[in-house]
Amino acid sequence: MCRHAKRSTITADDVKLLVRRSESLKAVVEAKMKLLNSLKPNEAPAPAKRKRK
């Protein structure tokens, strides 16, 4: 998915797309994501970078 989106980094959304058909694996991934999100402080998202042509 990251290659399709022309990114070099795999994001959590890429992982969720990969495991979306396996309910048990999806539950494990979502639980881990909730745990990780609760550990990090809420911060404002960085402004989007503009692409150079």
Contact 31, 15 (CB under 8 A): no
Give me the residue spans of the domains in the chain: 1-39
Q: What pLDDT shows up at residue 47? A: 76
**What's the pLDDT band for 23 if we cut at 50, 70, 90?**
very high
> Max alpha carbon distance in the chain (Å)?
43
CB atoms inside a 10 Å sphere around CB 11:
12
Q: Is pTM, for the whole model, over 0.75?
A: no
> How far are the Cα atoms of 6, 12, 19, 38, 48 from residue 42, in angstroms, in the given order?
27, 17, 26, 9, 18
